[in-house]
């Protein structure tokens, strides 16, 4: 059973979420569209698919499809046939989408977090990651962790190349950029 302070913390997290989104009308984006843009900016090339986005957002594919249509119509995201298999769809941010993310309302919340923690949000981050992991496990979701923290990640498997790292789960080479992105295949090391 949860404590009164745990319930109060849950209320505060919910209120912070609402306040971070209130009064913000950059490009007329709704919360689902912001979440999709944020995801696309953080996901590796193997995880920028409608199905992966639906899994990350805890949403249906139909809802994600509508979100992506809106983002494409606004010129913020694009989709194309997969270069890997030609059957699936790969998503990407457009330059305009990247520019809009520079005005992300969550940046103001990040400023508030930095101020409240004296610039050291490490303990808060670890606590929130633990809470998120528990919630994802309870809901039967996937973690979507950073590649370089995955048990399948092999650091410097091909030293000196443009893609020096390797993902054993996908059998693919990874760039330094890929290794710092989130992945739907992530399994903690």
Per-residue pLDDT tens for 93-138? 999 999 999 988 889 899 999 999 999 999 999 999 999 889 988 9
Cα separation of 170 and 44, whole Å?
Answer: 12
CA atoms 122, 125, 131, 133: torsion sign: negative
Cα separation of 79 and 69, whole Å?
Answer: 10
When the pLDDT of each residue in the chain is averaged and rounded to a whole number, the result is: 91
Q: Is the pTM of this model over 0.85?
A: yes
Structure tokens at 164: 């020096």
Say if residues 180 and 142 touch (Cβ distance below 8 Å).
no
Task: Indicate if the pLDDT at residue 24 is higher than 70.
Answer: no
Average pLDDT over residues 61-78: 96
- CATH architecture label of 26-119: Orthogonal Bundle (1.10)
Every domain range in the chain assigned CATH 1.10.10.10: 26-119
Please choose, from the candidates 187, 181, 186, 185, the residue with its C-alpha nearest in 3D space to the C-alpha of residue 93: 181
């Amino acid at each position: 059973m949860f404590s009164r302070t745990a319930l109060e913390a849950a209320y505060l997290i919910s209120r912070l979420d609402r306040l971070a989104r209130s009064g913000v009308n950059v490009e007329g984006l709704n919360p689902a569209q912001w979440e999709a843009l944020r995801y696309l900016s953080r996901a590796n090339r193997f995880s920028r698919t409608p199905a992966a986005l639906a899994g990350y957002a805890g949403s249906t594919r139909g809802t994600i499809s509508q979100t992506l249509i809106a983002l494409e119509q606004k010129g913020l995201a694009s989709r194309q046939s997969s270069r890997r298999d030609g059957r699936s769809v790969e998503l990407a941010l457009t330059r305009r989408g990247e520019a809009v993310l520079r005005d992300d309302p969550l940046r103001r919340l990040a400023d508030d977090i930095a101020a409240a923690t004296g610039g050291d949000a490490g303990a808060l981050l670890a606590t929130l990651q633990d809470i998120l992991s528990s919630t994802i496990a309870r809901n039967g979701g996937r973690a979507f962790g950073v590649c370089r923290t995955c048990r399948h990640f092999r650091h410097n498997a091909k030293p000196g190349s443009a893609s020096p790292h390797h993902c054993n789960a996908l059998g693919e080479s990874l760039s330094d950029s890929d290794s710092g992105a989130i992945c739907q295949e992530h399994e903690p090391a």
